[in-house]
Amino acid sequence: MFTALRINELVSLRWKDVVLDGASCSSYFAVREQRDGNTTTSTKTKAGMRNVYLTDDLAQDLRVHRETQYRLVKRTRARQKRRHGEASPHPNPDDLVFTTPWGRPLDPQSFRRALAKMAWTAELTDHIHPHYLRHTS
């Protein structure tokens, strides 16, 4: 909501495109790709390639999210090693930032449903959708 990313840009964001600098207001997303169905393509236009600067609070939330995601990968590696005798690859910069709890890519339609549910719970009467949030930033 605070970054004005398109839903397809959000679900294709990779850790290599996130710079979490310690200095105030210097963290950003480097938007370079977007999802198109099951494939990832470059942005629609050259202007679509941009840096989206983050608030300090959002940067901190992303640091916590990354640590949580990496802890989950570590547990999964240990479980796979116990079961199969080999470990899965270590988390790398090409990993997606936002995934399902099982590590799969997010489906934009699932995001839309979750957003609609949150709007309904908050008793918002407007039709809330991802592009609507893009305009609020």
> Mind listing the pLDDT tens digit for each residue in 20-52?
877 766 677 777 766 666 666 666 666 667 788
Whether 51 maps to a domain, the answer reads yes
Whether 91 maps to a domain, the answer reads yes
> Is the CB of residue 11 less than 8 Å from the CB of residue 110?
no
Whether 46 maps to a domain, the answer reads yes
Q: How large a percentage of the chain has pLDDT more than 90?
A: 1
- The terminus-to-terminus CA distance of the chain in angstroms comes to 7
Average pLDDT over residues 3-18: 81
Average pLDDT over residues 56-84: 82
Residue 81, Cβ neighbours under 10 Å: how many?
A: 12
Res 107 pLDDT > 60: yes
| Domain enclosing residue 102, as ranges | 7-107
Whether 129 maps to a domain, the answer reads no
Beta-carbon contacts of 124 under 8 Å, excluding residues fewer than 6 positions away, are none
Per-residue model confidence (pLDDT) at position 48: 66
Count structural domains, the chain.
Answer: 1
Beta-carbon contacts of 90 under 8 Å, excluding residues fewer than 6 positions away, are 73, 77
CA atoms of 102 and 61, how far apart (whole Å):
20
Whether 124 maps to a domain, the answer reads no
Whether 100 maps to a domain, the answer reads yes
Whether 69 maps to a domain, the answer reads yes
Per-residue model confidence (pLDDT) at position 87: 60
Whether 116 maps to a domain, the answer reads no
